[in-house]
Amino acid sequence: MTALHTLLSATPTTPGATIDPQLAARIVDTLWPIREQALDTNDVGTLAGFETGSALQGDTADQVTITCGCSGPLPRPVATQYLFVPKQSAYPSWFISELTTSPVEGSSPDVSLMVFTRASPATQWMVSLETGYSFASGAAWVYATPEAMAGGFDLPTPTRNELPGDLAAYYQYWANAGSAPTSPFAPGVFTSAIGQTQAKLDTTLAGEGQVHRVVYSIDLAHDGVWSVAANNVAEQPVYGWGLTCGTVRYEAVTTLASGAAPMVQPVDRSTWGSTLTPGRYTEITQWGLHESCFLDDTAGVPFIVLGHNGGVIRSVGVSAG
């Protein structure tokens, strides 16, 4: 941790730059195994030393391992690393890392996307967002790679502030209508599949006498949004794409239909997650978030959503007595 915090406060060797690819690589290489070990042991104190915002909330969301006695995810070794480092001369500054991991005890390889931010010279680099995805096929398919210029810095690209809000609206349509909207987002694991899961949950809860309503939102001022120039290795031409990362938040309220039995959170907290205390409830409200990245093409049309990390971060309930 001492070596990590030294790097998180270090000055790059590139004159006039707040961060360069060389220092970014050293930060990621040093931080990754510490973060993996902290996740494995549910060590929130260690995570809080270098994570903030959506990343810290997402990594500590709904930690069922704390209450059920289950083991956490095993630490994943890094297989490949890509860095998206825009050339910056003033704070706040940021960069994005993209790692692929090797399988661990039969698990699928993963792709992890992390946004690092630094507010000022008096602060240190922090992980502000982390999300990722995996493939059961046995290979970690990387969609986006850096589009770099001389010195390894990422090419400039416009910030796509609208994308987190577009995804929130996409999820909201599914929640309201139970079907997919007309949308620029491609169907996939983190779009249509998420919507279908939401619709199925609503149906399941309705069958148990419960009414489930969810409202999606964004908070760009606090959560941030970041865009980098990227290549898309799956498309031709591969150049001219953009990779954007941001957070969608939600508030879900579940109430009882007339005559329905109270909702029960058992002692092991297995039904409603670790943030709701055991008991019987007539109403449950849960707040949560999901971190995602977006890959859009040269025409500015979002092509694919990558990642959905996060979960429930807070719950309250109205006791049934």
Closest C-alpha among 110, 116, 130 to residue 84: 116
Kindly give the pairing relationship between strand 263-265 and strand 279-296: antiparallel
pLDDT band at residue 176, thresholds of 50, 70 and 90?
Answer: very high
Given pLDDT bands bounded at 50, 70 and 90, which one contains residue 65?
A: very low
Q: What confidence score (pLDDT) does residue 136 get?
A: 67
Give the DSSP H or E segment for 194: helix 192-207
Model pTM?
Answer: 0.94
Mean pLDDT on 171-176: 96
Could you tell me the two tokens for 301?
């049309």
H or E stretch covering 169: helix 162-177
- Tens of pLDDT, residue by residue over 254-301, are 999 999 999 999 999 999 998 999 999 999 999 999 999 999 987 777
What pairs with residue 265 in β-bridges? 279
* The pLDDT of residue 71: 56
What integer pLDDT is reported at residue 149 of this predicted model?
A: 86
State how far the Cα of 7 lies from the Cα of 217, in Å rounded to an integer: 35
Task: Identify the helix (H) or strand (E) that includes residue 6.
Answer: helix 2-8
Which residue bears the tokens 């309705």? Answer: 206
Question: What backbone phi and psi angles, to 5 degrees, belong to 223?
Answer: -90, -30
**Helix (H) and strand (E) counts in the chain:** 8, 11
Give me 132's structure tokens.
């990722």
Q: What does the pLDDT read at residue 68?
A: 47
Average pLDDT over residues 4-16: 96
94-145 residue pLDDT tens: 999 999 998 887 778 899 999 999 999 999 999 999 999 987 666 678 999 9
Sorted by where each starts, the structural domains of the chain and their CATH numbers stand as 2-152 (3.10.450), 162-319 (no CATH)
